């Protein structure tokens, strides 16, 4: 396959594809590159997948379309996904057959729309998540067989210098002969082929990636991390496969289930899983995969040698076929009768979305902060959790998305339009003291002639910049450094073109200080009364985490002022992580046993059809 981003075709499949652009043929069929567009196979955050049938051979392919004229389209992310798939050739990883960065996509109304096309091998069995959701948990023999296949695929991915960063059953497809194949590299990170899965090789810093519940504790804590983050996600996948439930909601100290794992109170943890009927070996494997310490977490090589992975206890191909035919038929029948799912897929084309998310943008005058007054401030306390919002987005729409999340979380919102402040109250469960509620505030402000520091950039982002000798940005495709802003420092060194050129190819290890004419900043802090209640490690982080996740797509990164101001009274996200560290003896030190409590753990969260995917703040 060619390496150019503008198009490439695998030699194995070259004869299947033509240079024909999008068209409507005489039979009313929509055709792209010689492929007849069929039913919708899936729909995600950034696009959707259609069944494609070759006009002459009738061979099936999966056509992944990403529409270029949508606000969420990010060309550098798409190119990175293509690069990842080109680097990996393994039977347990989905094959990228062909790709084209721009094709005319024939809409159902006869018009054409510019789109990226990725042609993937067709996995007729759908994804593993559907089988679990509709047919139930896998027994240990099938789970072990499939886990072995996933490990093999992940080893090939890591060997290519790639960290997947969004492993979950939804991203594991079922191919011919019921073989599993890992897919969806949209959030992946590419290192180089000499980098290994050594837990000490912490080459990644972007933590707002992945799917809530599958993110390793080092990501939740905002630390640098290695390929071991994928191993943790693999542990969540295995638990879901064997139990059809999530092992916890988030790998944070505030989560009562994960707190037991982090503090190695395994007896207490498994006591809440009385109906799982897992063998001791399976429990030990899960504990090793979900280990709090990345350096203590089991590696992929050692996982293959774990006692639970006895090859004698795996299925051969004949048994796998018999077992999966039955489970797959059961899941397909239930899926076809799922009216809600079918309606979602029918509304797959852009413009057909009828959900609340699209309604916010279409009816912005109904937003609660539409008539609000943005405050212009001279400085912002760094002890507030602050995030810069892209100037391309309207603040009242950003806040409305957060209000929607609060409503869905069954919380309450108090709105102050004069100060552009939202006060959120959420309820929860503390296993030690029972029910509680906590309150935090969200305020949107503007900064003029502002300076921010600790700005991180990728090489791809830097390559889109136009910059003069004074560090002023003249051309930009990233909100982190808008046109008119100026780089003043690279780490502790004043900006110079020579210094910029030296780090341009590998900028992720440095921080920039940037001055810009205007900035829109979202500030979050815990309410004073909530702090006095003494339940900081229980109520704060889930609220901050969930609210931020709902508006993160509008953010360009964290906002940090060069000097801390006098206003340090508000507890922030970092304070919560510090509390977590204090409980566990600091920054991935020894995890200490915490006192047992007599109360039973809450019921484990069931596997749900919809999951919250978090978009990357940076590559």
Catalytic residue among 6, 114, 127, 166: 166
Question: What would you measure as the largest C-alpha separation in the chain, in angstroms?
Answer: 73
Distances in whole angstroms, Cα of residue 403 to Cα of each of 261, 322, 541? 33, 48, 17
Is 581 designated active site? no
Distances in whole angstroms, Cα of residue 86 to Cα of each of 7, 14, 157, 180, 206? 12, 15, 11, 19, 23
Give the whole-angstrom CA distance, residue 33 versus residue 54. 9
Structure tokens at 244: 């059809």
Give the whole-angstrom CA distance, residue 549 versus residue 572. 16
Q: By CB neighbour count within 10 A (0-12 exposed, 13-18 middle, 19+ buried), where does 325 fall?
A: exposed
> What's 88's DSSP letter?
-
Q: How many residues does the chain have?
A: 619
Alpha helices in 351-508 (DSSP H): 356-362, 395-408, 459-463, 497-503
- With H, G, I as helix, E, B as strand and everything else as coil, classify residue 3: coil
Give the whole-angstrom CA distance, residue 97 versus residue 120. 5
Kindly report the number of other CB atoms within 10 A of residue 470's CB atom. 11
Give the whole-angstrom CA distance, residue 471 versus residue 486. 5
Chain position carrying tokens 């729909």:
43
Virtual CA dihedral for 34, 38, 43, 47, nearest 10 degrees? 30
Kindly report the number of other CB atoms within 10 A of residue 484's CB atom. 13
Q: Are 424 and 439 in contact (CB under 8 A)?
A: yes
Q: Would you please indicate which residues are annotated as catalytic (active-site) residues? A: 166
């Amino acid at each position: 396959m060619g390496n150019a981003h503008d198009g490439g075709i695998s030699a194995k499949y070259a004869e299947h594809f033509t240079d024909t652009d999008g068209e409507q043929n005489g039979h009313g069929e929509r055709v792209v590159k010689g492929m007849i567009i069929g039913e919708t196979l899936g729909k995600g955050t950034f696009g959707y997948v259609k069944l494609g049938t070759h006009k002459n051979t009738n061979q099936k392919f999966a056509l992944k379309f990403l529409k270029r004229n949508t606000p969420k389209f990010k060309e550098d992310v798409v190119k990175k996904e293509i690069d990842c798939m080109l680097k990996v050739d393994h039977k347990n990883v989905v094959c990228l057959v062909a790709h084209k960065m721009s094709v005319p996509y024939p809409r159902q109304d006869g018009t054409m729309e510019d789109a990226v096309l990725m042609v993937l091998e067709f996995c007729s069995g759908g994804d593993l998540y559907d089988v679990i959701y509709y047919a139930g948990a896998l027994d240990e023999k099938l789970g072990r067989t499939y886990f072995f296949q996933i490990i093999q695929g992940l080893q090939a991915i890591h060997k290519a210098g790639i960290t997947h960063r969004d492993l979950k059953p939804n991203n594991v497809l079922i191919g011919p002969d019921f073989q599993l194949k890992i897919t969806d590299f949209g959030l992946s990170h590419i290192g180089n082929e000499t980098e290994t899965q050594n837990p000490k090789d912490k080459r990644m810093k972007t933590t707002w990636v992945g799917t809530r519940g599958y993110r390793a504790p080092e990501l939740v804590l905002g630390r640098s991390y290695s390929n071991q983050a994928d191993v943790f996600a693999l542990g969540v996948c295995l638990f879901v496969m064997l139990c059809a439930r999530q092992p916890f909601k988030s790998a944070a100290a505030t989560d009562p289930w994960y707190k037991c794992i982090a503090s190695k109170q395994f007896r207490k943890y498994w006591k809440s899983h009385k109906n799982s009927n897992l063998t001791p070996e399976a429990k030990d494997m899960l504990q090793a995969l979900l280990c709090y310490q990345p350096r203590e977490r089991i590696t992929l090589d050692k996982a293959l040698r774990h006692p639970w992975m006895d090859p004698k206890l795996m299925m051969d191909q004949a048994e796998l076929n018999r077992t999966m035919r039955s489970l797959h038929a059961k899941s397909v029948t239930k899926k076809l009768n799922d009216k809600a799912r079918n309606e979602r897929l029918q509304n797959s084309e852009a413009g057909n979305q009828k959900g609340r998310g699209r309604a916010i943008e279409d009816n912005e005058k109904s937003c609660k902060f539409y008539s609000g007054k943005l405050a212009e401030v001279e400085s912002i306390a760094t002890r507030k959790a602050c995030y810069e919002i892209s100037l391309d987005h309207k603040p009242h729409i950003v806040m409305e998305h957060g209000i929607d999340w609060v409503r869905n979380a069954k919380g309450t919102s108090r709105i102050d339009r004069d100060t552009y402040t939202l006060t959120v109250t959420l309820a929860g469960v503390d296993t030690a003291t029972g029910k509680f509620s906590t309150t935090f505030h969200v305020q949107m402000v503007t900064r003029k002639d502002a300076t921010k520091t600790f700005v991180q950039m990728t090489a791809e982002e830097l390559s889109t910049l136009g910059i003069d000798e004074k560090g002023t940005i003249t051309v930009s495709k990233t909100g982190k450094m808008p046109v008119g802003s100026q780089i003043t420092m690279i780490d502790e060194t004043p900006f110079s073109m020579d210094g910029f050129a030296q780090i341009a190819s590998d900028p992720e290890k440095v921080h920039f200080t940037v001055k810009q004419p205007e900035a829109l900043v979202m500030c979050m802090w815990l309410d004073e009364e909530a702090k006095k209640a003494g339940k900081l490690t229980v109520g704060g982080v889930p609220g901050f985490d969930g609210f931020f996740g709902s508006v993160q797509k509008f953010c360009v990164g964290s906002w940090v002022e060069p000097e801390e101001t006098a206003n340090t009274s508000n507890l922030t996200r970092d304070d919560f992580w510090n509390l977590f560290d204090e409980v566990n003896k600091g920054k991935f030190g020894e995890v200490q046993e915490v006192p047992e409590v007599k109360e039973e753990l809450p019921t484990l969260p069931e596997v749900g059809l919809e999951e919250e995917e978090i978009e990357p703040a940076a590559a």
